[in-house]
A and B are shown apart, each in its own frame.
Chain A
């Protein structure tokens, strides 16, 4: 396995610093917006500071994604092993729903049940975020060659050692790809959370749309997209560290 060092993260870290800078200083947005939209009046979302919006957005995504990863990976591991084999069919067809279920529909369905606000939104995002993690965990574990598992067991590894030392590391890049998709989709979906009153970068986006004020929408959209790209870059680095090929590839 390739050891990750800080150097591997140089690019994403620089991007992160720029992002924090953009968040802290509201000013550049006014300057930029003045140049692009010289005749508009409001360039900044007035109801909350950019820092607050970004923080709310981050908190929603971080909370929902960590729970989604925890649940998705556990459930995926459960159904791909003997103890949970009976649930494999129902869970795996459920996980494939994620490809057909549009993000906007999430809140249309959950708001009537869960209500408005930050916590219900996080809950909805969690449920939605589980699906790609679950799907990739199942695919990742199934991609581990039976020969490798057989030799791990044959050498006398206990079941937890087979899981932790062989299956998880070998499935990690596929699982992490699922995590990456889940988080990136989570950032995007979380902006819709503003409709459910959760705050975050969706607030200026929606406010701008309603008030016909494009600079305000852009302000939120740029920061949200940028955040998604940051998550994508950081998780992608971990993903690469777990990319292995099998013996005999050279022969």
Chain B
């Protein structure tokens, strides 16, 4: 768990605080996306959690500890940190880069070696092939994977990520996002994830904390931020495709009805797809319903345009 209480940071060069009385909590095992326009104070907020920046006011808790009760370096060794541009050390091999925090924690050599192998496996890189490589021999996507492995090295319960997939092409980014989600399903870390990309936040996060000019505008689960923007700024930030974004958060399996209703239609959607995909399939076939199929190809249900409309009418809890 990460909790910020009334956290404020002022820079002498700025008139308003860079971070202004921010309070929110990242529940254990969940991902919170810290989102907002450039300069809104996201990175400053994140860096206060591992004391790379000291707040002027407020308290921050990681687990049960107030972070200022712990020596800064010891705190940081307990928190995974991954940043845009990765910051791998070019004079160290992939092995040394990933083994950095365990080395700082004085693990013995066999334990570090076993851990590095395990982590390369986890992020989908072949340990035998990649261990001895230098960062200059990696592609952008591979470097990001090594960056994530390095952040996870000492198995910290808490992870701070600052636009970790910001520096790669859109296709690689999407793949890294889903790989990261798969890892998160296994490991259940408490993650504070900075991004300026709403679609990325929707894809990876459980909750959104939206900032503007240092102040927290809204903090809620992703669906609610999109369905019920707290103010005009959030509404604008979410954008005109708000409805489609809502659809992309709802899954076909949750909304479908009995198969019969789509008997006369051609459109097919997998049961794991989102309502957004279902709508796209209906539009493509010019139909008002589509069959839902399981992985083996059998028809398990149907979804109609009325289901989709009903989805919007149902209030979120």
Contact = CB atoms under 8 A, between A and B. Distances in A.
B214 interface: no
Contact of A145 (B87, B100, B134, B167): B87
How many A residues touch the partner, as a band? 20 to 34
B77 interface: yes
A29 to B, nearest CB: 45
Contact of A155 (B104, B135, B141): B104
Given A147-B87, A250-B139, 7 more contacts: A154-B76, A154-B81, A155-B81, A155-B104, A156-B74, A247-B135, A247-B140
Contact of A247 (B81, B100, B143): B143
Interface stretch (B88-96, B179-187, B263-271): B88-96
Interface of B: 50, 52, 73-77, 81, 83-91, 100-101, 104, 134-141, 143, 150, 160, 167
Contacts of B140: 247-248, 251
A173 to B, nearest CB: 10
A151 B83 contact: yes
A175 to B, nearest CB: 14
B268 to A, nearest CB: 38
Contact of A251 (B84, B134, B139): B139
Contacts of A166: 89
Contacts, number: 87
A244 interface: yes
Contact of A248 (B74, B89, B139): B139
Given A156-B77, A247-B136, A147 B104 contact: no
Interface string A181-200: 00000000000000000000
Contact of B73 (A145, A158, A170, A251): A158
B68 to A, nearest CB: 16
Interface string A122-159: 00000000000000000000000101101111111110
